[in-house]
Amino acid sequence: MDLKNMMGRGQDIFNTASEGVGKMLDEFNAALPTMRALGFTVEDIRVGMGVLPEVKAKLIASADKVDVKTLDDIIKKKSEQKTLVTVLKALQTAYNVRDQLGDLGLKGVEINVTLGLPPNISIGFIKNAVAPAQA
C-alpha cells in the first residue's frame, strides 16, 4: 500500500471516529440535565485530537447528596439515553462498593467520562467535600 492510500485510510478512520464521538457528545449533552438534577456539576472538559479523537469530562457532586435509590427509576424512564444509563449504572456500582467498604471519610463523588473509541466511565470518591451544585 502506498503512502497516499494509507493517508486516505487514516482520514477515513478519523472521520468515522469523529462522527462517533459527535453522536456520543449529543448523548452526553442530553444527559447533563439529569446529572445536574442529581447534584453534579461539570468540573472540566478536555478535548484530545489524535488518530482517534476523544472528549473527556469530569462531573463532581457531594457524595451524600446523590440519592442512589432514585437511580433505578431514572434508568427506567430514560432507557433510550444510553450514555446516561451507562453513567447511572456505574454510579450505582460505585456506591455499592463504597457501602461495602464503610465510612472512609470520602465526602465527594467524581465521574470521569471519556467520549471516544472506546468510551469509558469511571467513578471515584474523593476526600474533599464538594460545593453544592448551582442551578
The three grid cell numbers given for residue 108, joined into one nine-digit string: 465527594
The residue-averaged pLDDT of 84-103 equals: 90
pLDDT in tens, 30-58: 999 999 999 999 999 998 877 677 889 99
Q: What is the pLDDT of residue 30?
A: 92
Cell numbers for 48, please give them: 484530545
Could you state, in order of their start, the residue ranges of all structural domains in the chain? 3-126
pLDDT in tens, 81-93: 999 999 999 999 9
User: What's the mean per-residue pLDDT of the chain?
Assistant: 83
Instruction: Tell whether omega for the bond before 118 is within 30 degrees of 0, i.e. cis.
Output: yes
**What is the C-alpha separation between 111 and 49, in angstroms, rounded?**
22
Q: How far is CA 19 from CA 25, 54, 67, 76, in A?
A: 10, 11, 34, 27
**Over residues 98-108, mean pLDDT:** 84
pLDDT band at 80 (very low <50, low <70, confident <90, very high): very high
**pTM, entire model:** 0.77
Out of 15-19, 96-100, 118-122, 123-127, pick the least confident: 15-19
